[in-house]
Amino acid sequence: MDILQVVNAQMNALGMPLYAVTLTAVPRADTPLLLMLHWHGFRREEVEGLPSRFAPLYAVPGSALQLNERWNRMEMLDEAMLEAGWKLGAWDVVRDARRGCNWIGASEQEALECRQAFGDYSPLGDQEDHLLVEAPDRLEMMHLAAAVGYVRWMFRPVKDSIWRQTAEDDTLDEVGGRNTPCPVNPITYTSKNLHVAYRLGRVERIILP
């Protein structure tokens, strides 16, 4: 599974900096995965009779892509996200497992976070304003996650991203990435480690205030 290749292809196609990359999975082998790319950029909305330079600016919507590759262990997804995060210069990769939100006692916040993990921003307004979706099974994935739970990974890339100018990480090369294989191994997924933060970067210099 090469998530890095998918992310790079999207960055090359859109030519805009990234803010964050997330991957959401239902903890059932071989179910589809949802990869979301959160962009930092703006576009102008053309208004009839108004010069383009005065047209209002709107944030570029994120991209949601369905991945249908085979997988049978959560650690396989860890490896793919770790490799992508490492090569793209992320400081860390966070894995967060959540319970389903269709259970008695689940809060409205849990339900909202479950919807947003699968790219459902309908409570915030027009869906197309927030996300462009290429994931035909997204709603079915979300409904299954509401019943059995889901796992979400997230990292903030430095290479070709808005974080390039602020990164304080001595493991990065001149363009904000890393060329060596990721040295961090996945941690076995169990009920005792539902939240894991994989540290990738480090600072070896003394940073003065």
- Sorted by where each begins, the domain ranges of the chain are 3-199
Six-digit token pair at 54?
Answer: 């005065």
CB-CB contact of 120 with 128 (8 Å):
no
Residue 73 scores a pLDDT above 80: yes
Residue 78: predicted pLDDT: 97
Residue 133 scores a pLDDT above 90: no
Residue 42: predicted pLDDT: 65
3-state class of 181 per DSSP? Answer: coil
Distance CA 43, CA 45 (A): 7
3-state class of 130 per DSSP? Answer: coil
pTM of the shown model: 0.86
Report the Cα–Cα distance between both ends of the chain, in Å, rounded: 42
CB-CB contact of 85 with 93 (8 Å):
yes
Q: What's the pLDDT tens digit per position in 140-190?
A: 999 999 999 999 999 999 998 887 777 788 889 988 899 999 999 999 998
